[in-house]
Amino acid sequence: MDILTKVERSALMARVRSKDTKPEIAVRSLVHRMGFRFRLHLRDLPGVPDLVFPARRRIVLVHGCFWHGHSCRAGKNRPVSHSEYWNAKLERNMTRDRRNIARLRRDGWGVLTVWECQVSSAALPLRLKKFLESK
The predicted-structure confidence for 122-132, as pLDDT tens digits, reads as follows: 999 999 999 99
> b/e string for 20-46 if b means 16 or more Cβ within 10 A?
ebebbebbbeebeeeebebeeebeebb
Residue 11 falls inside a structural domain: no
pLDDT at 31: 98
56-109 pLDDT, tens digit each: 999 999 999 998 999 998 888 888 888 899 899 999 999 999 999 999 999 999
Residue 14 falls inside a structural domain: no
- What does DSSP say about strands 51-53 and 110-115: parallel, antiparallel, or unpaired? unpaired
Residue 16 falls inside a structural domain: no
Residue 41 falls inside a structural domain: no
Range of the domain at 118: 47-135
Residue 90 falls inside a structural domain: yes
How many domains does the structure of the chain reveal? 1
Task: Give one DSSP letter per residue of the chain, joined into a string.
Answer: --SS-HHHHHHHHHT--SSS-HHHHHHHHHHHHTT---EE--TTSTT--SEEEGGGTEEEEEE-HHHHT-SSHHHH---STTHHHHHHHHHHHHHHHHHHHHHHHHTT-EEEEEEGGGTT-TTHHHHHHHHHH--
Mean pLDDT throughout 33-42? 96
Structure confidence at residue 1 as a pLDDT band (50, 70, 90): low
